[in-house]
Structure 1
C-alpha cells in the first residue's frame, strides 16, 4: 500500500461524492471505509444516508465514534480499545461492555468487532455473540482478510440476513481467505461448501 502524501482536494471530494450518490441509487447497501485520508467523513456519510435507505456499514480506523446513526460498524479490537481508551485483552466482561458502549454512542443497529486469531464478536440488540475463527489458526497470509470480512458482512446484510448470520458468513470467508497467499478472494461455491460441511459455532460465556 502507498499512502497519499497530500489531503484530497475539494474537487476530488466532490467527484467522489457524486459517484457515490450515483451508485447508491442502484445499490442494496453502502460500505464506507475511512482510513483517515480525508475521502470519507462523517459529513459525507450523513449526506449519503439521505439519498437512499439501505444498510450503511462503516469501517473507520481513527475516528470511529465521530460517526453516528449508521446501520453497523466493523472495527477491530485495537480500534475499539483506542476509541474507548480501554484495554480489553482476554476479559469478556470488558469486551461486552465495550460492545455495548460503542453501540450506544454510535446509535447502531448492530456491531461487528474483529479480533484476529480470536475470531469476532457481533452485537445485535441485547445479544452479544462470540464467534471463534473458522478453519485453521495456521494463517498463511492476512492480506485483505479484514476487507473480506467487512465486504461479506455487508453483502449478507444487503441480501436480508440479520447481523448474527452475516457475521457467521463473514467469519467463514475471513477464515478461508487467510489460508491463501497474497491478496486473495473467496468464491461463492467455497462459501457454500463451508456452510454445508461446518455448522456455525459460538463460544459460551
Structure 2
C-alpha cells in the first residue's frame, strides 16, 4: 500500500486521510498513526516492520499485551516517549517514563501503557500533564495480543489468548497522589522510588 501524495520530484508527503491510521480497540480513543505499516513498500524505509506514533491521554489505557509475528514468534518493541510522560507496566511493575526516554521491550514481556497522571512532580521541577506522544517500531508486522500474564513468556506457545473484557488488563485510573509507593521513575541513570 502506498501512502500519501507523490510529488513530481519523487518526494512523498503523507497527511491526514492519506495516512494509515488504525483504531485497534473500538472502546477507546486510541489512534495508531503508522508511518510504515509492514508492507514491502519500495518507497518505505526498507524494513518489514511497523513504525508509527500514538498520542496518549489519561483516557487511553492499553490492555496488557505481547506482540506475536504473523508466523507465531514473540517480537520485541522499541518505543520513544517523545514528549510528556508515560506510565508503563512491564511484567506487572509500574514505571513512570520521562520525556525523551527510549524503551526497549524484549520479546515476551507483557506490557501496557497509559499517560502518567497529571500533576506528578519530576526531578527537573516540571509536572506531568496527563499526555504523552509515543513513537513505536516493530521489526516485523504484529498486532496486540492481550494477556493476563505478568511474567515474561519464553515462547509464543506459552501465550494464552484473552477473550474477555479488556478492562482488567489495563492500568487502573490513577492520580499523581496514587503513584508514590506504587510506581518508580527512571531518571538519567537512576531508578528512583516515587
TM > 0.5: no
Structure 1 or 2: larger strand share?
Answer: 2
Q: Which has the higher contact order (CA 8 A, sep 6+)?
A: 2
- TM-score, scaled relative to structure 1: 0.29
